[in-house]
């Protein structure tokens, strides 16, 4: 009881200062301003600097949430290879299955800011130039194995889109 009274007296002073002088306030003013002006920054998803514009993510998305946006000016990433398009995700369609993340050769969708599929994400700190210098052709058995991991329906979608 005595301990409580001591705490109460200490607390009374602390809280009096809080009420009277707005001390110790921890509401984030940054968030307050961005919400009030309706400008909360979007979740970061596609890492534009590293994307090579291969549109693999576009093809594998089961809900067609991804569109490839043409760049006004192609960006040359490495000699002889330039990026002409980048993917944009429509979050209202996305189901966070992270297929796109898995297929991306450099994991630049959902790269950092969002959940990453519990599968392996390789070595994200490689630079793009290093990646592109590596041989890019996958061995056939690897492709076969990969095709098992991707849902049948997604593959069906790919072929459907290609047929159209």
Partner 1 sequence: MASQNPVKQKEVVEIEKELSFGPIHPALLEPYRIRLFVNDEYVEDCELTVNVAYRGIEKLFEGLPIERALVIAEKVCGICSNVHAFNAVRVIEGGLNIEVPTRASYIRVLVHEIQRMTSHLLFFGHAFEVLGHETFAMRSFLLRETFMDLMAYIGGNRVMASVPIIGGIRPRADLTEPLKKTILSRLDEFEDKYTDYVNRIMADPMVMSRLTGVGLLSKDEAIKWYATGPTGRASGWDFDLRRDMKEYKPFDFKVIVLNEGDNKARVVARALEIFESIKIMRQVVKNLPEGPVVNRQWIAGKMDYTIAYIETYRGELMHSYGLDEHGLIRNYKIRTPTITNLAAMEQACIGDHVTDAMVTIASCDPCLTCCTRAEVVEKGRSRVMTDQEVVRNYGWRH
Partner 2 sequence: MDTISFTLLLIASSVIAIVIATLYSLVLPGIERKVQARIQQRIGPPILTPGFWSVIKFTYKEKVEPIAQMPRLYKCSVYLGVVVVAFLLLFSTPYWWAVLSWGSILGIVGLLKIEEVIYVFMGSQSQSILSTSMPMPDLAKGSKHIGTRREFVEQHSAERAIKMMAIGSLPIYLALIVPFVVGKSILISDVVSFQNPAFFSAPWYGLPLPSHPILFTVPGFLATIPFFLGYTILLNEKPFSILKAKIDVIEGGVLEYASTLRAAYYVMRNLLLFALSSIFVTLFIGIPFDPFTPFVFLLNMLLSIILPVCLAVLVAFSPILTFRQIYPVAIGLSAIGVLAMILAVSI
Partner 3 sequence: MSLKARSRRNAIHAMLFYSGGCNGCDIEVANALLSPRYDLEQYKVLFTWNPREADVLIVSGIIAWQLLEPLKKIYSMIPNPKAVVAIGSCPINGNVYKNLVGDIGVNEDIFAPLDNIIPVDVKVPGCPPRPEDILEGVVKGVPKLVEAP
| Residues at the contact surface with ligand SF4, assessed by CB under 6 A | 46, 51-57, 60-61, 63, 65-66, 87, 89, 94-100, 103-106, 108-109, 138, 142, 146
Q: Which is nearer to partner 3, 6 or 88 (CB)?
A: 88
Among 9, 10, 13, 15, binds partner 2 (CB under 8 A): 15
Helices (H), the chain: 2-21, 29-36, 56-60, 99-103, 128-133, 140-149, 152-163
93 binds, among partner 1, partner 2, partner 3, none (CB under 5 to 8 A by kind): partner 3
Least Å from the CB of residue 33 to partner 2: 12
Q: How many CB atoms neighbour CB 110 within 10 A?
A: 25
∠ CA 27-33-35, rounded to 5°: 95
Token representation of residue 81: 């290879």
Task: Report if residue 153 touches partner 1, rule: CB under 8 A.
Answer: no
C-alpha distance from residue 18 to each of 6, 23, 44 (Å):
18, 5, 36
Task: Measure the CA–CA gap between 12 and 3, rounded to whole angstroms.
Answer: 14
Q: Which residues bind partner 2 (CB under 8 A)?
A: 15, 18-19, 22, 24-27, 32
Q: Which residues bind partner 3 (CB under 8 A)?
A: 25-28, 31-32, 34-36, 38, 40, 43, 62-63, 91-97, 114-115, 151-154
């Amino acid at each position: 009881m005595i301990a409580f009274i001591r705490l109460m007296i200490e607390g009374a002073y602390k809280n009096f200062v809080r009420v009277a002088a707005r001390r110790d306030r921890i509401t984030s003013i940054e968030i307050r301003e961005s919400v009030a002006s309706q400008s909360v920054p979007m979740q970061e998803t596609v890492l534009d600097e590293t994307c090579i514009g291969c549109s693999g993510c576009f093809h594998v998305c089961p809900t067609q949430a991804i569109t490839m946006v043409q760049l006004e000016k192609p960006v040359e990433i490495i000699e002889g290879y330039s990026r002409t398009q980048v993917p944009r995700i429509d979050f209202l369609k996305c189901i966070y299955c992270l297929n796109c993340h898995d297929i991306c050769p450099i994991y630049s969708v959902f790269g950092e800011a969002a959940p990453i599929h519990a599968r392996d994400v390789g070595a994200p700190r490689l630079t793009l130039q290093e990646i592109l210098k590596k041989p890019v052709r996958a061995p056939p058995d690897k492709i076969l194995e990969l095709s098992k991991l991707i849902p049948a329906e997604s593959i069906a979608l790919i072929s459907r889109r290609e047929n159209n």
